[in-house]
A and B are shown apart, each in its own frame.
Chain A
Amino acid sequence: MKKNIAVIFGGQSVEHDVSIITAHIPIIQSLLASGQFNVQPIYISKDGSWYSDQAMNNLNFFKQTNFIGANGICPKQKKIQILFDQGLKLVWPGFRPKVVKIDVVFPAMHGTFGEDGSLMGLLRMANVPFIGCDLFASTIAMDKVLTKQILSKENIPVVPYIWFTKFDWETNKNTLKEKALKLKWPVFIKPVHLGSSIAITKVKQQSDLENMIEVALHYDDKILIEESIENLIEVTLPIIGNDILQTGEIERPLNKTEFFNFNDKYLSGGKKYGGMKNRYSEIPANIKNELAEQVKSLGLKSYRVLGCSGISRVDFLINNDSQNVFVNEINTLPGSLYCHNWRKAGISNVELVVKLVALAEERFKARQKITYIFDSDVLNFTTIQVHEHNA
């Protein structure tokens, strides 16, 4: 008996399109190739509508120019509804509504409302197993500042930084500029909640600072300014597991631009094997053994400190002069699951998704043993109090 697995992608996020790629390459294709699942694609449009149709299992559906829009294919379809009824059910409304019970959910939404924990909260409420990090890890990892604060509390090295909100900037611009100038320049300005390197800029001249902060604040209301490491080795390490962890290969992006941006990650050189083709990265990274050991050790520690489960990817910055390793950020839904990296580590796409489903079910099973309810007579006590008060 095949399991019904819902892959949720798209969403109201700047990474909407990247999410469609991740959902299909490799998630849906690998789930179908495994022959173990009935895949129910769930596409959330940019206006937040939920659609599901078997045709959406094919990436080509989303390459049609009219798949969305006023007279598009999706808007002509019935929007689906979700039902929390001893698990998660999808409902296609109508005279005879079609209902499909979902056994497992595979969230494939990057960024806001998906990767930030919103979707995980919904799925926790629905009491359905889901792949990847749970609500808490997702929420923390989504906030680059919160991640750095937690990691540094656990003595995991991070690059020096400052942070502030839009309100802080508008009310205290000069003080914040002074703080920023105290950092070692050049610096990076990053919106705190966005992924895929969107709206990240490197500022070399102080005269550009204000302008670039304004740009970042256009995308987020909380931003981070951190020192740039000039003689930099950037590496990344994908990890899977709940309690017992398994690392992929240490990968070094071979930057085309000054830093690894959206184009390098997803658009350069075709998308056949996921966002990144091998020539844009070195797998395994050609770094010294001591550095590789440090990367793996810090990666595993960071994964645990943030409470990650299922899959995540830890990004590192290595100062080639000082040989210091810094954890940069944690990505709880690596683009295309970093399947190209796992393949190098000897794990095929099918093995990866099947393993992730098993991890999701394992975590769900463990959660079922936790008591979330408590019998109390608080309500009766309150009634007596109210009676007494009225009397």
Chain B
Amino acid sequence: MKKWLSYHPRYIRSLVYMLQASEYNICDYLNWYGRVKNFNKVECRKHLIKTPKAILIFIIAWTILLSLYSFAISLFWLKLGLIKYIFFAGILLIAPYFLAYVIIAPIILIRIFIQWPIEFVIIKCAQKKLKKHKAIKIAIAGSFGKTTMREILKTILEKNKKVATPLHNHNTPLGISRFIKILKGDEEVLIFELGEYYPGDVKKLCDLTQPNIGIITGINEAHLKKFKSLDKTIKIIFELSDWLKKNPIYVNGENNLARNNVLNDYIIYNRKGIEKWKVENPQTNLKGTSFVISKNGQDYKIKTNLLGLHQIGPLMVAIDIAIKLGISIDQIKEGIKNIKPVDHRLEPKINNAGVITLDDSYNGNPDGVKVVIEFLASLHNYRRFYVTPGLVEMGSKIKEIHKAIGIQLAKTEIEKIILIKNSVTPFIAEGLKDANYNGEIIWFNDALTAFDALPYLTVKNDVVLLQNDWPDQYV
């Protein structure tokens, strides 16, 4: 009843927003639609962006709704007796519900008859252009850590090479094709992130990007809801190594699922080193990370602004590739110094009140969470806050993963845990309870309220870790 009462003029805008926020993915949209209890409150974190596509759907939706109501009203002119009143009431009641499903039709039609043909042409042109491009192409696949890997590689290699990468997180065939279109042809290294949204995606992207070098950053439960099983995820990610054949492929040895699927000629990297490079004396704190790399009796001290020992593995990959591309150690060290934390990925910020915030709101995968809690635990002499709404798309492992987070937090004795009320955080609380957590658990109804409250909960030198953030479609 409450849901029906929230059908009002803003309802159509809410539907269009839900489609847009779900990136016009019909399944995600329908799942979200089923969960919404009040259509007045779907635009919480973001708002509808008036793109031509959104405006077109908006107009179509209003046209459909008004047509339905006009039809209902026109029934009164027919000599149907009592039945016309029943039809009128029925149409009035069902119209909003009906509309939510009917507006999918134009999206499918637009996709089949306009979007896909255009995309097909764009992708084919890009593929053709890239085939002629002489740059070394590096492809990064994995359930997590792709953007950080890309940024590390780019910053180090561009000390000596002309490097280009797609902007932001453009990792779909269309996004990459648009990037290829603007290439000048004089680039020496191209770095691509390969998005793995559906089976076959990685292979399709390999066909497009034709990589010479591959990096698999790891495999975990991220997107498990979509892929249903980890075996399927492994198969999709390893499409990159299948494609590369004898070309070099780097695999994250700190990730069990990736490590268990490597073949003999794969290059394993981790925080202890890579091939003959050994890592010694690793140290990390809020100012950054330092370690010594040694090979054939020669030592080099490396310093970076990146936080956490888990950053050493990706840095070693970049160092190894850079050396193989003929970049000197001094240039590599200089490049590493220039690496800045990627936005919202363990990005440290300090406010006027002296509170240190570690913004890790784009990190929503179990491996990422694990290493970040390890880092937080390593910060002594600080009062530490861990703020999270939990992780999304964990499929059947939802309880197991969140309980494990709770247990890890309890064992590392983080002083304050702030949990956002939703379907997953009770599992974190369960883990905390099972591991006899001694600190304070503070609950908030939503993330925005928690963020507003943080200035009142913290004092100078407190460290606040913001772990993951849920966009509207997951709330």
**A residues apposed to B, CB below 8 Å:** 26, 29-30, 32-35, 273, 343-344, 346-351
Contacts and interface: CB of A to CB of B under 8 A. Distances in A.
Task: Give the top 6 A-B pairs by smallest Cβ distance, nearest first.
Answer: A33-B453, A33-B456, A349-B456, A30-B456, A343-B459, A350-B457
A30 B458 CA distance: 11
Interface in B446-464: 452-453, 455-460, 462
A35 B353 contact: no
9 contacts: A29-B456, A33-B453, A34-B453, A35-B442, A35-B443, A343-B459, A346-B459, A350-B456, A350-B457
Contacts of B459: 343-344, 346-348
Contact of A343 (B442, B444, B452, B460): B460
Contacts of A349: 455-457
Contacts of B444: 35
A34 B453 CA distance: 8
Interface in B80-136: none
Interface residues of B, number: 13
Contacts of A26: 456
Interface in B352-368: 353
B456 A273 contact: no
A350 B460 contact: no
A348 B456 contact: yes
Contacts of B443: 35
B458 to A, nearest CB: 6
Contacts of A30: 456
Given A26-B456, A34-B453, A344-B459, 15 more contacts: A30-B456, A33-B453, A35-B453, A273-B353, A344-B460, A346-B459, A347-B459, A348-B456, A348-B457, A348-B459, A348-B462, A349-B455, A349-B456, A350-B453, A350-B456
Nearest to B418: A35
Contacts of B455: 349
Contacts of A34: 453, 456
A348 B416 CA distance: 13
A351 B455 CA distance: 12
Nearest to B458: A348
A343 B457 CA distance: 10
Contacts of A35: 442-444, 453
Contacts of B462: 348
A30 B459 CA distance: 13
A274 B444 CA distance: 25
A132 B202 CA distance: 65
A348 B452 CA distance: 14
A34 B449 CA distance: 11
Contacts of A346: 459-460
A251 B174 CA distance: 60
A262 to B, nearest CB: 24
Nearest to B416: A348
A149 B443 CA distance: 49
B355 to A, nearest CB: 9
A311 B168 CA distance: 52
A1 to B, nearest CB: 14
A353 to B, nearest CB: 8
A204 to B, nearest CB: 38
A33 B460 contact: no
A351 B385 CA distance: 14
Contacts of A32: 453
Nearest to A36: B442
Contacts of B458: 348
B167 to A, nearest CB: 36
A32 B457 CA distance: 11
A319 B358 CA distance: 46
A34 B456 CA distance: 8
A33 B452 contact: yes
A30 B452 CA distance: 10
A344 B443 CA distance: 25
Contacts of A350: 453, 456-457
A246 to B, nearest CB: 15
Nearest to A346: B459
A80 to B, nearest CB: 27
B353 A33 contact: no
B312 to A, nearest CB: 34
B16 to A, nearest CB: 31
Interface string B210-226: 00000000000000000
A35 B452 CA distance: 12
